[in-house]
Structure 1
Amino acid sequence: MSLYITSLNSGSNGNCYYIANDTEAVLVDAGLSCRETEKRMKRLDLSMDKVKALFISHEHGDHIRGVESIASKHKIPVYITPETFRMGKLRVDPSRVFPFSAYAPIAIGGLSVMAFPKFHDAIDPHSFVISGNGVKIGVFTDIGAVCSNVIDNFTECHAVFLEANYDADMLENGRYPYHLKKRISGGHGHLSNVQALELFLAHRPGYLSHLLLSHLSKDNNDPDLALNMFRTHARNTNVVVASRYEESAVYHITDTLHPFRKPAIHKPAPPKPVQISLF
């Protein structure tokens, strides 16, 4: 009972996450070119033939850059909200475009993909939980503030791609103009290392086997700094950084540490900020 995951790239230069069982796979976001996506998958011995759907979180370029070419070349359906599709100005064959709604799981073979709304400076942003074989994988990036939706879903996952975008001191003292600093840290931008760590410490389930720190800023974070913050508290969770320059390893996520799972109750309500303070 397992799923397989990898980050093909994670950062403002492109985001693409692969989740699969033995027969089907989905990509969450397609921020790399088709050629680069194929190249990285080939290095990992992964086949694009296995990819049965693209799920798009929001319209920013680092999440949709490869959608048109991948969908066209490989005849892959694109699951995207109507507002995100409109704002992204995507030119995709309408027969391959499918809407999704928050809290309504979509079956892709033996995988189930559920979206939920989040805080981010986009028209209709969502994060995703992908389930299959008794395993749940979360893709939680581009989040301005931890909300009840993030917490509820984080507590159920066996592995998570979790945003740790910036170090607060590096952002404050860095070269970015004031308005951009406020956009990043202002509640609809990105999670800091500390915000992500607080979520991890307060709400991780005991069976969380893998945490992939994702969407790290090139200018306002340091991979070793972020990694050391989390590994100090990791216990039985394998913590790695999802690179902005290359694909990660393929991780095999099993259900062996999850004997007493309680089903989540998802309510179609807008996200609400939750104040977590452990420091």
Structure 2
Amino acid sequence: MIEICALASGSNGNCYYIGNETEAVLVDAGLSAKQILLRMKDAGLNASKIKGIFISHEHTDHVSGVRVLVKRLGIIAWFSQGTFDALRETERPETYGIFKPGKAFHAGSFTIHPFLKNHDAAEPCSFRIEHDDWHVGIFTDIGEACNTVRHHLRKCHALFLETNYDEKMLWEGTYPYLLKRRVTSAHGHLSNDQAFELIRDHAGPELVHVFLSHLSGENNRPELAEARFMSLSDRFNVSLTSRNTFSGLCRLR
């Protein structure tokens, strides 16, 4: 059995939980440690099970709580070398490890598969997390899906997938032009349409659950993201994550 939950997903903070009966890991810690622990408690999750935190990149909405959370739980946070070097001194936890993108490693009974992705950060990575032949992907903050992303996608049973923006809302919205160009660039974020095409064309036969993630508060709406994936509802269970609360706990058996 493996259970997963988005404790937060959006530009105001990101944190994803993957666990089993006795152990768990987190991907990103972009809320305060207090908020992360509170949301875990509200979701009925036991923080003492956490064996490590894996940080995707150095942007504030992914690292703001990591230093305090590591100290409070007595665990290790893991970074790529480029991500760790890009952190401010005040963001660096006392105990940490460095992983190599493309090289799997273990945290308790979980196998962590980190791999490089296209995003405007120092050495950004996404993760596929494996336990007892179950595979969960956390694929957010991706400007353009490369062959490596597609390779790991094909192995996933469940997936947190970025659906950051609706193209019409973004281009008609109030963002400055250069910021719009950044968001839509190959090192920005996936739109609803891009995420839909990625899943439609490259999902493997084992994929069951897709969680629409990292929605922009300014350039997307939950109903727009859901509507874009409606035609795939006969293939996958499609659910939304939230910027403001934890998503419903999902168990894979």
Q: Same fold (TM over 0.5)?
A: yes
Runs of 4 or more, structure 1, over 3 Å off, are none
Q: Which residue pairs with 1:204 in the alignment? A: 203
Runs of at least 5 residues in structure 1 that lack an aligned partner in the other structure = 255-279
Q: Offset at 1:20?
A: 0.9
Contact 1:24 / 1:108 at 8 angstroms: preserved in 2? no
SS at match of 1:115: strand
Contact 1:21 / 1:110 at 8 angstroms: preserved in 2? no
Q: Offset at 1:98?
A: 0.4
In the TM superposition, what whole-angstrom CA distance separates every residue of 1:190-244 from its partner, at most 9, and x where no partner exists?
0000000001100112221110010000010010111121122221411011100
Identity across matched positions, percent: 44
Map 1:10-29; keep pairs closer than 5 Å: 10-29=9-28
Q: Offset at 1:103?
A: 1.8
In the TM superposition, what whole-angstrom CA distance separates every residue of 1:97-120 from its partner, at most 9, and x where no partner exists?
100011211111111011000000
Measure the CA separation in 1 of the matches of 2:65 and 2:195. 28
Q: Which residue pairs with 1:257 in the alignment? A: none
Q: Offset at 1:49?
A: 0.4
TM-score, length basis structure 2: 0.97
Q: Which residue pairs with 2:148 in the alignment? A: 149
> What one-letter code is carried by the residue in structure 1 that aligns with 2:164?
N
Map 1:260-279; keep pairs closer than 5 Å: none
Q: Which residue pairs with 1:166 in the alignment? A: 165
SS at match of 2:93: coil
TM-score, length basis structure 1: 0.88
Q: Which residue pairs with 1:115 in the alignment? A: 114
Measure the CA separation in 2 of the matches of 1:4 and 1:114. 18
SS at match of 2:143: coil
Q: Which residue pairs with 2:49 in the alignment? A: 50
Contact 2:31 / 2:65 at 8 angstroms: preserved in 1? yes
Contact 1:6 / 1:18 at 8 angstroms: preserved in 2? yes
Q: Which residue pairs with 1:6 in the alignment? A: 5
Q: What's the C-alpha RMSD, in Å, of the aligned pairs?
A: 0.9
SS at match of 2:99: coil
Contact 2:156 / 2:207 at 8 angstroms: preserved in 1? yes
Map 1:1-279; keep pairs closer than 5 Å: 2-89=1-88, 90-93=91-94, 96-254=95-253
Measure the CA separation in 2 of the matches of 1:218 and 1:54. 26
Q: Offset at 1:82?
A: 2.1
Measure the CA separation in 2 of the matches of 1:204 and 1:247. 25
In the TM superposition, what whole-angstrom CA distance separates every residue of 1:81-137 from its partner, at most 9, and x where no partner exists?
2221121122321xx210001121111111101100000000000000000011000
Runs of at least 5 residues in structure 2 that lack an aligned partner in the other structure = none
- What number of residue pairs does the alignment pair up? 251
Contact 2:58 / 2:87 at 8 angstroms: preserved in 1? yes
SS at match of 1:139: strand
